[in-house]
Structure 1
Amino acid sequence: MAADSNRMRVLRPLQACNLCKTRKKKCDKSLPSCGYCISKHMDCVYGDASFPRNAAPPTKKDACSKQPSLWPSPARVIINPKHALQLAEGFGREVYSEVYRVIRDSGQFVDDITARFFNGFHHQLPVISRISFYNCLSASGATSSDSSLLLLAMSLFTKTTDAHAQTIPDVEKRRALYLSLKSLYAQVQACSPRSIPLIQAGVLLGMHEYMNGQPYNAFMTISQCVRMAYAAGIHMRRSHENISSRKPDSPFLLQEEEEANTWWAIVICERTFLCELETNSQPLLSVFPAGDARLPFESQVLDHLDILSHGSLPNIPLSCLTFPNLGGFSRMAQATCFLDQVRKAFEVDDIDSRLLLLSRLDTNIQAFLSLVMPQCQEEPGIYCSAMNITIRTLFILHWHIITQLEICAPRYEPRDVWLARSHEALETVAKMVIDIADLLLATPVQSTAMYMVDTMPPQYPYIACAVLGYLRTRKFTEEPECSTKARGILQMWLDKYSD
């Protein structure tokens, strides 16, 4: 008991909070906020607590925090480099206290965050096992820094608003959440070992940046995740192998399958993020799994691995495109496989060999799209990401053909034939994207997924921008009025999405 008491004293701030010092009153030095600040609903700031005695004093901006802020403040620097590596548990509690403060200031609650996340965005990108996450929170007593960061990352996907609630305070709150996660993530990375929750938090952080029009930041974030994943070894876990070679009573089944899904998410995100960079010729860090690799588990399987029998687990290879009832995450993996193959085809030097390879890929991709579209119509929101990745891949493929034919002339087939074929494909893709935008615009605000960050396919704004750019630059059209109307529909949707 004495040891625990001494440990708690180490964790308490060395000085009173800024507000109590200004009032010249006694401060109870509670974390994350003292009793007085809580009673007055004020932002409690311990300006000197995170600085060593020989460090520079707080800035004037820090000292002026005695007045309550209008918006929630981003995470403060909470790590004391002198003690962080010595007291891992104390460091975890400090991170959790800061995460709790940020979540509280955003107006959310932990129970609401977890419930909304696992009932929403989790089905689009099932990288976190519901069982392991709850077990980690309960076992660590809320002192694990990486689990706290993962909770904060989940909160980015659980703040649903509609068009009438997109107020400036709400935008600022979301911005504060993002900046807090970005700051804390860098600090925890510097002082904590690589872990699966830390990698998963990075995947969610990158996805949030991608969904909010920051593809470059998203690509940098996911690149960090790739390096951490290699360091943790999740790219070579047995869960990527045939499941029949695994022991049915493996005590690490849940952990291995969660790691496998996390690696799949990293591979998918790195390739989709790269498509939106101005310079997308840089090499990828992750290696795409081979065609016989097993597809990832869907959320309903990942969440029930503790009660499912070994024989009931799906064992479907990546190359099996026509297997019935494949889930949305599996289809995302297959769609990204085509994207990876197209990217590799661009590296073929001979123009005729490259065109023939791209033509075969085009046939296969269009056949795959015909498989996904009926599933997307039957279960809206589940297969939309796979369909969007496929559409984006077709656009990249045919736009590459058009631009390359302006430089090189094929030998075995006339250039006009290739150009006509690619323009026809792009016109078909553009019509599909315009139809989706038209449908979303006609959907009532109360029921549309447009304003739900946890259900809207992240890729759609990017394919809409790609099609809009194509419509603006194409040099031929038989119906200019229709083209103008189509551009207006896409622009209207993009403006409404970004409000």
Structure 2
Amino acid sequence: MADAGSDETLVSHAAQVCLICKARKKKCDKALPSCNYCIRKKLQCAYSTPQTQFLSRAQLRSYPSLSPSESDTVQPSPSPYVLSPTVPLNPLELATSLNLQVNRLIRSTGQFVDDISAQYFQGIHRYLPVISRTRFHDNLVTSGAAPSAGFSVLLLAICVVSPVPTVGRVREDASSTSQAVDRQQLYLTAKSLLAQVQGSSPVSVHLIQAALLLSLHEYMEGRPDDALASIAGCARMAYTARIHIRDHSSSPFAPPNTPGTNSESDTSAVANADSWLQAEEAANTWWAIVICERRYICDASVSEQPLITMFISADAQLPTEPEMLEHADPSIIGHIPYAPVHSMEASYAKGFGRAAQATWYLDRILQSFQIPDLDTRLDQLQSIDIALQQFLGILVLQCNSTTHVFCEAMTIALRTFFALHLHILDLQLQPASMLDRPLDECIATSHTALVTGLRMVVDIVETLDKTDTRTFRAVTPGYRYVVRAALRYIARRGSLGEGEEDAWFRTAEERLRASLERFV
């Protein structure tokens, strides 16, 4: 029979060491509510069973017992990418469990959370700004609670799509017995976690963003069919969360004019700005889903598929640019000008807005492809072509004045341009009886247009050759597909002769293929 002293011992000690002693790899007395080491160092003691939060490099190094060299050599588990077969059903336990698993996975790549977040916001975020950096870091430093399960999955998805130089190997100073986690293992783990959380938790914007980024990874890896299937599920989640509805008249943001003290007004302004950020982050996420689905279907093996998303109205407000998502100054939010999708001359339209406008043209030609009457279809495509060439001219001028900002819009517009004119060339294969007009003039015009598009792609390739592009972040997600479309047109022209023009086409083909090998 246990005596009273043994019962007291069981109650006053934790089953496992605290997180700080675990990170130090030192002995812990497991005292409750705080171990003696944490009491002496005046640290917040937490054991593995309560909620925890992600530890950034700065947080790890803030512990007095952890020197920089010690904090860099915290060892990953022997098999960090092996998941438990099930996740806890209790939301509290689920958030804590995923927090620990994802943190361990990220550390197994030899990086910290702040490493991958910096890489992400310098890379993919410039082309697809769906995450507010302000709200992202607020979630990371949430005091006293683990981030939500959806946020943990999003963090792992960010790790998958970000340029991670050390993925595939651990740090040089790590133990030789540690197993490295490559990008494919991270991707498969993230897909598994996404499915488990989706089946056990309500849909959240973070979970939708994670699904979006994983589909983008598939697309960047040259798997547009997989990306298209993934974005379909992502769109269904977005519809469920109703983020496709953006009603500015009932926006949660209102200018801070609440009567009262200055302190009360400041608090109201901050709350309103956060509400505005949350709404715009959701709206940008929906825009990204619409853009990506149309981009993916252009390169899918079967393009005759129905789209899941409906394109946002041409009168709708353009998406929010990344600098606004990062700062959200309450004094200027209420003065943001209304910029509709159809307004091509709007000087305040920047990178993401221009990408949305380029996708509007892409959506229009995809709809035109479905017109059964070939003459009507041709008239529609020629009308779109005139407007698209004007839009490309605007983009060229803006690209010359601002480096990289308009790269994604340019790749989408060029991919649209090639899709349109290659489709017109394909009309030659239709029976002559189906057309009421000769195609010779249209075909010649499309060849001229495609040569111009090819020269633009070659110019982009030559610009990249002069740029330091040691990481993927310097190249837009759709770059490889524009290059391949240009190569398809060269192949479509047939065998080349010995003339000066043919020599230029051969040189262009060599440059394009070399660029694919470099960036793929």
Q: TM-score, normalised by structure 1?
A: 0.79
Secondary structure at the aligned position of 2:141 is classed as helix
Native 8 Å contact 1:342 1:358 kept in 2: yes
Native 8 Å contact 1:433 1:464 kept in 2: yes
Distance apart, 1:226 and its partner CA: 0.3
Distance apart, 1:172 and its partner CA: 5.9
Distance apart, 1:315 and its partner CA: 1.7
CA separation of 1:327 and 1:485: change in aligned 2, threshold 3 A: same
Q: Name 1:146's counterpart in structure 2.
A: 150
Distance 1:39 1:246 in 2: 42
Q: Does residue 1:92 correspond to 2:99, yes or no?
A: no
Secondary structure at the aligned position of 1:235 is classed as coil
> Among the aligned pairs, what percent are the same residue?
37
Distance 2:382 2:170 in 1: 50
* 1:202 alignment partner, one of 211, 224, 227: 211
Secondary structure at the aligned position of 2:222 is classed as coil
Distance apart, 1:323 and its partner CA: 0.7
Cα deviations across residues 88-117 of structure 1 (Å, max 9, x unaligned)?
A: 111111111110111001011112222332
Distance 1:255 1:97 in 2: 26
Distance apart, 1:260 and its partner CA: 0.7
AA paired with 2:481? Y
Q: Name 2:508's counterpart in structure 1.
A: 486
Distance apart, 1:169 and its partner CA: 7.8
CA separation of 1:294 and 1:176: change in aligned 2, threshold 3 A: same
Distance apart, 1:185 and its partner CA: 1.3
* 2:135 alignment partner, one of 125, 132, 136: 132
Q: Name 2:328's counterpart in structure 1.
A: 305
Of 291-300 and 135-144, deviating more is 135-144
Q: Does residue 1:496 correspond to 2:515, yes or no?
A: no
Distance apart, 1:242 and its partner CA: 9.3
Native 8 Å contact 1:146 1:188 kept in 2: yes
Distance 1:75 1:329 in 2: 37
CA separation of 1:308 and 1:204: change in aligned 2, threshold 3 A: farther
Q: Name 1:215's counterpart in structure 2.
A: 224
Equivalent residue pairs, number:
433
AA paired with 1:300? E
Native 8 Å contact 1:222 1:269 kept in 2: yes
Distance 1:160 1:215 in 2: 22
AA paired with 1:487? E
Matches within 5 A, 1:243-262: 247-248=254-255, 251=272, 252-262=275-285
Structure 1 residues not aligned, in runs of 5+: 13-28, 33-37, 45-67
Cα deviations across residues 26-70 of structure 1 (Å, max 9, x unaligned)?
A: xxx9689xxxxx9997653xxxxxxxxxxxxxxxxxxxxxxx57x
Distance 1:315 1:242 in 2: 15
Q: Does residue 1:464 correspond to 2:474, yes or no?
A: no
Q: Does residue 1:235 correspond to 2:254, yes or no?
A: no
Larger Rg: 2
Structure 2 residues not aligned, in runs of 5+: 1-7, 19-46, 53-70, 172-179, 257-270
AA paired with 1:405? Q
Distance apart, 1:160 and its partner CA: 4.8
RMSD: 3.1
Cα deviations across residues 259-304 of structure 1 (Å, max 9, x unaligned)?
A: 1111101100111011110101110111101111000110111222
Distance 1:157 1:227 in 2: 22
Q: Name 2:463's counterpart in structure 1.
A: 439
Distance 1:384 1:242 in 2: 33
Distance 2:197 2:133 in 1: 23
Secondary structure at the aligned position of 1:312 is classed as coil
Native 8 Å contact 2:130 2:284 kept in 1: yes
Matches within 5 A, 1:313-332: 313-332=336-355
Native 8 Å contact 2:108 2:170 kept in 1: no
Q: Does residue 1:76 correspond to 2:80, yes or no?
A: no
